Amino acid sequence: MLGKIRRFLAGNLSRSSGASAVIDSRFDVVSSLWKKRAEDLASAARPTAWSDSPLIHEMYIQPLLSGDLKLGWMEYVSRVYFPKPLPRALSLGCGGGALERHGLLLNIARHFKGIDVSEGALELARKTALEKRCNRSIDYEAADLNALVLPENEYDTVFASQSVHHIEALEHYFDQVRRTLKPGGLFVLNEFVGPNQFQWTDVQVSHAQRLLDELPGKYRQSLRGNGLKTVIHRPSIEEMNRVDHTEAIRSRDILPELEKRFEIVERRDFGGTLLMLVLDDIAGNFYDTPQDRALLKRMCDEEQRLFATGELSSDFTLLIVRNVK
**Selected residue with higher pLDDT from 7 and 299:** 299
Residues 58, 68 contacting (CB under 8 angstroms): no
Q: In whole angstroms, how far apart are CA 243 and each of 4, 6, 28?
A: 9, 9, 12
pLDDT at 41: 46
- pLDDT score recorded for residue 129: 98
- Share of residues in the chain with pLDDT > 90 (%): 85
The second-level CATH assignment, the architecture, of 2-322 is 3-Layer(aba) Sandwich (3.40)
Task: Spell out a b/e string for 20-31, using b for 16 or more CB atoms within 10 Å of the CB, else e.
Answer: eeeeeebeebbb
Beta-strand (E) ranges in 143-220? 155-161, 181-192
User: What is the reported pLDDT for 176?
Assistant: 98
pLDDT in tens, 47-73: 999 999 999 999 999 999 999 998 999
Residue 17's pLDDT band (cuts 50, 70, 90): very low
Q: Does 304 score more than 70 pLDDT?
A: yes
pLDDT exceeds cutoff 80 at 12:
no
- Whether 40 has a pLDDT exceeding 70, the answer reads no
Confidence of residue 241 (pLDDT cuts 50, 70, 90): very high
- Convert the pLDDT of each residue in 131-174 to its tens digit: 999 999 999 999 999 999 999 999 999 999 999 999 999 999 99
Q: 211 falls in which pLDDT band (50, 70, 90)?
A: very high
Chain segment 277-292, per-residue pLDDT in tens: 999 999 999 999 999 9
pLDDT of amino acid 31: 55
**Distance of alpha carbon 108 from the chain centroid:** 20
pLDDT score for 287: 97
The residue-averaged pLDDT of 88-96 equals 98
Whether 164 and 173 have beta carbons less than 8 Å apart is answered as yes
**pTM given for the model:** 0.87
Where does the chain have alpha helices with state H? 2-9, 19-24, 26-43, 54-56, 62-66, 73-81, 98-105, 119-131, 170-180, 202-213, 237-243, 254-261, 275-279, 290-309
Average pLDDT over residues 92-112: 98
Residues 6+ apart with CB under 8 A from 147: 169, 172
> Alpha helices of 10-159 — where are they, by DSSP H?
19-24, 26-43, 54-56, 62-66, 73-81, 98-105, 119-131
Q: How confident is the model at residue 45 (pLDDT cuts 50, 70, 90)?
A: confident
Residue 100 near residue 94, CB atoms below 8 Å: yes
∠ Cα 62 49 251 (to 5°):
80
| Mean pLDDT of the 203-225 span | 97
Indicate the residue type of 18.
Answer: G
Domain definitions of the chain by residue range: 2-322
Query: Distance between CA atoms of 307 and 304, rounded to whole angstroms?
Result: 5
Region of 222 on the Ramachandran plot (φ > 0 left; ψ -120 to 50 alpha; else beta):
beta
Residues 246/163, Cβ–Cβ less than 8 Å: no
Ramachandran area for residue 170 (φ above 0: left; ψ -120 to 50: alpha; else beta): alpha
Contacts of residue 30, Cβ cutoff 8 Å, sequence gap at least 6: 117, 118, 166, 244, 245, 246
pLDDT reading at 307 higher than 70: yes
